Every structure is written in C-alpha cells, then in structure tokens.
Amino acid sequence: MSSGRDSISMSAGLAICVVALALASAAQLASSRPTTFAQDFQVAWADTHVRQIDGGRAVQLLLDQNSGCGFASKRKYLFGQVSMRIKLVPGDSAGTVAAFYLNSDTAGVRDELDFEFLGNRSGQPYTVQTNIFAHGKGDREQRVNLWFDPSADFHLYRIRWSHSQIVPVRVFKNNEAKGVGYPNSQPMGVYSTLWEADDWATRGGLEKIDWTKAPFVAHYKDFDIEGCPVPGPARCASNPTNWWEGANYKGLTALEARKYRWVRVNHMIYDYCTDKSRFPVPPPECTAGI
C-alpha cells in the first residue's frame, strides 16, 4: 500500500504532485488503507476489460475496439487525499486517454478534479492535462509534457483537497472571497478510466489511434484514500485537526514553490490563464499566485 507519508522526489512523482508530503495522523481520519482493490473500489463499466491481478492488489484496464473501461470508489468523500500508483499504456498510445479524477456526479453543478494522461506516438512525451470544475464551471485546462516515461514503471499520483487549496500538478487556492468558485460542499467519488479520444487527445486530434496495437493496457496499484466519507461522521469534513487542513498544507514551502515553478517554466505547454483568445482578461484565480 502507498501511504500519505511517502515523500515525493524531484523525479517522476514530483512531476505530478510537486508538494513533498510528510503526513501526520489526525482525528476522524476516514481511511481503511485498502490492501485490495475490492475493499474501496468497484468496476464502473465494462467489467470484461478490468482485470484484477496480484491477489486483487492491482488492476489492469484494457482498451480495444469493443470498449474502454473504468472503476470507481464505493463511497464519496468530502476533503482529504487520494493516491494510487499508475503505469500508463506503453509504446504507441496516441488517441488514448487514461484518467484519474474526483467527481461529484451532480449534473449541471458538478465539482471535478482531473488528471488526464494523453497518449503519445512512440518516442514523443506523454502529456498530462489537469482541469478543475467548481459548481459546474470548468475551462481551467493546463497541460504539461512529462520529462520521464510514465509507462516504464509505476509512479505515484496524488490529489489533495482541503478547505484552503487543491494540489495535483497545480495549486488551486480557495479564492471564494474574490468570486472564484471552489469545490467545498459536494462529496466526490474517485474514478479512473481508459478510453479512446483520438478526435482531440494527441496533437489536437491529428494523431489517430492505431487499433493494430490494441489492446492498450494501463496498470494501477497501491490505492489509498484518506478522507471524510459521505455518509459518515457529521463533523469530519469540518474538523480542523484533519491533517490535510494543517498549517503545513495551507501553502507551499520555498523549496516546493521553486520545484513547482520549474515544472511550469520547463514543461508546461498550455495554460488557460495565458490563453488570450479564450480569456482576454485572465480569470481572477490566475492572478492569485501560489
């Protein structure tokens, strides 16, 4: 099992979650630290394409011309951290998308925190796209080209969500005081899917999926959810002693901020905040800093 107490190096793990974590235990921590997939997760669609392996401690997601597939947590959570180790589709994966995300599953006003790993032609870098939806409003895409091969081995990916900020590969502060929506009232489930999206995923849809390479396979293991389940203890989500609400997690340290900027300067290829064709005036959260 992975733990929230793992640290993140400047290598692969840091590419995705730039904040090194050394977590302390806290009251009302709602996590069973599952040893098997089935304890906290279930197949969401296409069960013939989801394979449990290693005694149920890991799963493979398969994509072929018949179907993609996905899994979901059995419960929803309001604040906390979720992590898993993922080894992405190797080789020519153009046109595929492997997603790891939280979603409130509430039509029209959904909250969602996204990682989408966009497949590549052999020899080209994988791209990770992140997005954040709050009260139904998204359009906050950022894309980073990974400088390591995420299909060669497992790498740890985390999403940490508190009252003050969200930290996947980016930092999204709670700026409700400035009129910026923030997901703070709707519990979200944890999802992962593998699917075909060759109309947009790789080079804007110029690179199409090569079905002769199917099945495309992504691997997942070390599932870890630490958060407040809903339904669950009524005061869990508002408990200020939850570790993710602690002072150490309300912002980045100086070192973390330098590493975060290094990723943005050297590997970010798209940022909605600087896309003047879409936003002649940058959205207010874009000027809030980290």
**Dihedral, CA atoms, 49, 17, 282, 134, nearest 10 degrees?**
50
Q: What does the block give as tokens for 138?
A: 């998204």
Would you say 155 and 83 are in contact if contact means Cβ atoms under 8 Å apart?
no
Active-site positions? 112, 116
Separation between Cα atoms, residue 213 and residue 121, nearest integer Å: 12
Separation between Cα atoms, residue 243 and residue 85, nearest integer Å: 22
The H or E element spanning position 158 is strand 155-161
Separation between Cα atoms, residue 231 and residue 209, nearest integer Å: 41
Would you say 148 and 138 are in contact if contact means Cβ atoms under 8 Å apart?
no
Q: Which of 193, 271, 250, 224 is nearest to 35 (CA)?
A: 224
